[in-house]
Structure 1
Amino acid sequence: MKLTIIAVGTKMPAWVQSGFQEYEKRLPREWKPNVRELAVAKRSNNANVEKLKQQEGEQILAALPRNAYVIALDVLGKKVDTHSLSTNMKNWQELGQDIAILIGGPDGLSEACLKRANQLISLSDLTLPHPLVRIVLIEQLYRGWTILNNHPYHK
């Protein structure tokens, strides 16, 4: 299994990179993600948000690994707690497929990305800025891994 995180947004601030790297380095090799950063569609005051999401969605779909099992992070997705995320992680490993987790841009994911997803997950009822989602996601992946491996971090 290879894990890919496809995220809209490039040139993340140093605090995002640092936070992400802190948890990424703790993960074992099989859970270290390949991160694909994609450009945010150019926004203006009169921009059509759906068209921008569609443009970003086309980039995301083009970046998907072939035959990947796709998890889309979306506010309307199934709410998961840490233990159910760790159960999901175990199930993903058992699929024998590459895994791709999608993080949308400022306006979320396109309808095409949501339809392509095998699973929709919400990390929080809160609206999180997409750079922060990267840190929350990688920390929760690490925490889920610690639960699966009886590591004391989660306690």
Structure 2
Amino acid sequence: MRWHLLAVGQRLPDWAEAAYQDYAKRFPPEARVQLRTVKAEPRSGGKSAAAIMAAEAQRLQAAAPKGARWVVLDERGQRCTTVELAERLQQWQRDGIDVAFVIGGADGLDPSLRAAAFATLRLSDLTLPHALARVLLIEQLYRAWSILQGHPYHRD
């Protein structure tokens, strides 16, 4: 089983890229998170938010690993603690199916992607900038992995 992070937006601010890479490199080779980014749809030309989300959804679907369970991140998603996330990851690992965590663009995710998702999670009750969401997700995946490994990074 592999973990993937699919995200709209290819360029992060330097601080976010550095933070993301810091956590990503902590995983051992057999547990690396595979990052796949897709281009954000240009907001020019009077496009509606729905048209923008639909275009980004097509790019995300094309970038997604075949057969992976989609876990979309959405402020309306289900809350879970880090320990609960670790338990979910462990169960998904037992199932042997890749998991793709999906972060949408500035307008969010197309409703069809949210409807087709295996799970919908929220990282916070607050609306987060996408760069921060990406950093927070990789940190939480690392923290959950450390719990499953008995690593002392996470403390209760």
Contact persistence 1:60–1:113 (CA under 8 A): no
Percent identity of equivalent pairs: 39
* Residue matched to 2:14: 14
Structure 2, gaps ≥5 residues long: none
* Residue matched to 1:81: 81
* Residue matched to 1:130: 130
Is the partner of 2:74 in helix, strand or coil?
A: strand
Cα 1:58–1:114 shift into 2, 3 Å: same
Contact persistence 1:79–1:121 (CA under 8 A): yes
Q: TM-score, normalised by structure 2?
A: 0.94
Bigger shift: residues 29-38 or 127-136: 29-38
Is the partner of 1:6 in helix, strand or coil?
A: strand
The Cα shift of 1:29 comes to: 2.2
In structure 2, distance between residues paired with 1:137 and 1:13: 16
In structure 2, distance between residues paired with 1:138 and 1:107: 21
* Residue matched to 2:23: 23
In structure 2, distance between residues paired with 1:14 and 1:135: 12
Residues 63-111 of structure 1, C-alpha deviations (whole Å, 9 max, x = no match) = 1111111111111111111111111111121111111111101111111
Amino acid at match of 1:92: W
The Cα shift of 1:45 comes to: 8.4
Contact persistence 1:8–1:105 (CA under 8 A): yes
In structure 2, distance between residues paired with 1:31 and 1:21: 15
The runs of at least 4 consecutive aligned structure 1 residues that moved more than 4 Å come to none
Amino acid at match of 1:95: D
1:36-115 to 2 correspondences below 5 Å = 36-44=36-44, 46-115=46-115
Query: RMSD in angstroms over aligned alpha carbons?
Result: 1.3
In structure 2, distance between residues paired with 1:128 and 1:31: 26
Structure 1, gaps ≥5 residues long: none
